[in-house]
Structure 1
Amino acid sequence: MTVQLPSQIVVERFLPTVRSMLAAELAARGFAQREIASRLGVSQAAVSGYLSGERGGEERFAEHPRMQATVERIAEGFETGRMDDYEALAELLELVRDFEDRGPICALHEEEMPALEGMGCDLCVRGRDRAVQAEREVLSNVRRAVRTFANAPGVAAHVPNVGTNVAMTLPQAAEETDVAAVPGRIHAMRDGVNVPANPEFGASHHVATTLLAATAADPSIRGGVNLATSDALLAAVPEPFEVAAFDADYEDRRARLASLFESGVPQVLYHEGAFGIEPITYVLGGSAVEAVARATDLVARAEET
């Protein structure tokens, strides 16, 4: 993949298309090739190429109703004398801006640079949005963490029946919609795990609740993953890590965790379950990647015992 500016698409794809269409429209209205060349700012040979079809354009531009209407309006303006070059340029610039803002130029740009998918126009038209950039970084971090988790040996045995989730908060997160996680959770499947979808914001409740309480107490803690509580897993926690237990009850959990975290946020947090509630251990870290690294290390240690 190469870095490409939207202006390159304008020059290399849009401009040849609109010139070809204007040349054909003006020729149909009786303009001579020399006059067309003068109007378009190209050579007469180029006009000949446009009219013979040797210089084709971008189909999605040529078939767009807004493009067709603009070309017809400019050609008619030239024919009747009601439009000069300045006004024609204004028409084309307006069309380019329209096409760049979630239009066909934006679509082509995203195809050329997949990293822009879903946000190309937000970057190119509206400029860098720090909030959008933060969301992008969080989603990327969770995706990397999920891949690490899914490929780690032995993790399937430590996935709870309710499923595992890998999550990360935005900076200064306050609500569940500020937390990115895997929709539908990660579930054990034979000797491996199944990841049903890419991470999204607002896709977690329980891991998000734990993370929101943790990051409110310590903003450096933004990532977490849940595993099934077991004696082997807890015994595998290395000595420098802090471990804390809490009540499994869901009622007022966030407030109770906030109270627990007043004395500091542990790296490992667990409960032993209750009626209808499976025992769960939460491994926390500065990011989803860090939390998963800690969790997979615990799993490896537990498997060795």
Structure 2
Amino acid sequence: MSLVLPSELVVDRFLPTVRAMLATRLADRGLTQQEIAAELGVTQAAVSKYVAGESGGDDRFRDHPETVDTVERIADGLADGEMDGYDALAELLALIRTLEDRGPICELHEEEMPALRGLGCDLCVRGLDADVRAERDALANVRTAARTLASTPGMAALIPNVGTNIGMALPEARDETDVAAIPGRIYAMSGRIEIPANPEFGASKHVATAVLAALDTDPDVRGALNVATDDDVLAAAAELGYEPLEFDAAYEDRGEHLRERFGERGAVPRVAYHRGAFGIEPATFVFGTTAADAVELLGELFDQASGSR
């Protein structure tokens, strides 16, 4: 993995673009190239290139509305003497903080470090704290679980027609926005499993409902996935000591119904299923301490079921 600091992108991509923008706008306001060079702290030769449009730069900054507004404001201030270098620097630092908060600098950073994509990275804004770490870990765990599911031979046979999803809740999740899942669901196509996107929080109400019900019953159970109900898999679960729990598919408040059923069992089962209802495809939920743990158990059940077929 390449290790690139956001500050490198500020120096290499942002600063040259903004200097060029300021040079052209100061020239438009009547400053000489020598005066512009003194204001920007560069050589007159550099200003000549800026004004001639030979400096390159990045259009993401050049076309960014807030960047344009800031440059215009600084150019006006420097040209009429109402702003000095200290004031201009303060304006640019405030702009950089904005651009690092899911703005162009953040986009460039994800391009330079692809490993950051899908993590909802906001290190530049919040720093590395416990909440950020928990969010990052949940997203990474769901991504690993989805890849494991997709790479397990034969697993596509368990993907229901409506698709499946994998979810993992934050430790103190309150609603579906605290549960990471795959946007758009996971589908089987031509015998293989397709993962449409990297995980995001709030991406699946369906799997989040089951995960949150489990979490309310047992704080250690934070992961789950749904697959098609398969009798051989249910039998395999029973054989391995994971007695499946059946619940009613037709309940409108699925979350409350699951909480009641879990309460009757006295624990969150590793496997819970229903046989479907009108317009509802039969589904089975596999639970785990994490999303990856749930997928690992599903693989164990699938192997057991395959061996007895």
Q: TM > 0.5 between the two?
A: yes
* Residue among 287, 290, 293 paired with 1:290: 293
How many residues get paired?
301
* AA at the equivalent of 1:143: R
Superposition deviation, residue 292 in structure 1: 0.8
Q: Work out the CA distance in 2 between the residues paired with 1:14 and 1:91.
A: 14
* Cα distance per residue 1:83-127 (max 9 Å; x no partner): 33333333333433443344433333333334156845x331243
User: Residue 233 of structure 2 aligns with which residue?
Assistant: 233
Q: Work out the CA distance in 1 between the residues paired with 2:124 and 2:174.
A: 29
- C-alpha contact 1:241 1:266 (8 A) present in aligned 2: no
* Residue among 246, 259, 263 paired with 2:263: 259
* Cα distance per residue 1:239-269 (max 9 Å; x no partner): 663314334354352232232342x333333
**SS of residue matched to 2:287:** strand
**SS of residue matched to 1:243:** coil
Superposition deviation, residue 299 in structure 1: 1.0
Moved more, 86-95 or 27-36: 27-36
Q: Work out the CA distance in 2 between the residues paired with 1:128 and 1:135.
A: 11
- C-alpha contact 1:180 1:204 (8 A) present in aligned 2: no
Moved more, 137-146 or 82-91: 82-91
Q: Sort the Cα spacing of 1:104 and 1:267 in 2 relative to 1 into closer, same or farther, 3 A.
A: closer
- C-alpha contact 1:233 1:298 (8 A) present in aligned 2: yes
Superposition deviation, residue 11 in structure 1: 1.9
* AA at the equivalent of 1:225: L
Structure 1 unaligned spans of 5+ = none
Please say which structure displays the higher CA radius of gyration. 1
Q: Work out the CA distance in 1 between the residues paired with 2:156 and 2:305.
A: 13
Output the TM-score relative to the length of structure 1. 0.78
Q: Sort the Cα spacing of 1:298 and 1:17 in 2 relative to 1 into closer, same or farther, 3 A.
A: same
- C-alpha contact 1:269 1:281 (8 A) present in aligned 2: yes
User: Residue 145 of structure 1 aligns with which residue?
Assistant: 145
- C-alpha contact 1:224 1:288 (8 A) present in aligned 2: yes
Q: Work out the CA distance in 2 between the residues paired with 1:26 and 1:228.
A: 66
* Cα distance per residue 1:171-198 (max 9 Å; x no partner): 1234344333345644554533454555
Superposition deviation, residue 230 in structure 1: 4.2
Report whether the alignment pairs 1:304 with 2:307.
yes
Superposition deviation, residue 51 in structure 1: 4.5
Q: Work out the CA distance in 1 between the residues paired with 2:184 and 2:46.
A: 57
- C-alpha contact 1:180 1:202 (8 A) present in aligned 2: yes
% identical equivalent positions? 53
- C-alpha contact 2:119 2:136 (8 A) present in aligned 1: no
Structure 2 unaligned spans of 5+ = none
* AA at the equivalent of 2:269: P
Q: Sort the Cα spacing of 1:299 and 1:73 in 2 relative to 1 into closer, same or farther, 3 A.
A: closer
Q: C-alpha root-mean-square deviation of aligned residues, in Å?
A: 3.5
Output the TM-score relative to the length of structure 2. 0.77
Q: Work out the CA distance in 2 between the residues paired with 1:129 and 1:157.
A: 41
User: Residue 203 of structure 1 aligns with which residue?
Assistant: 204
User: Residue 269 of structure 1 aligns with which residue?
Assistant: 272
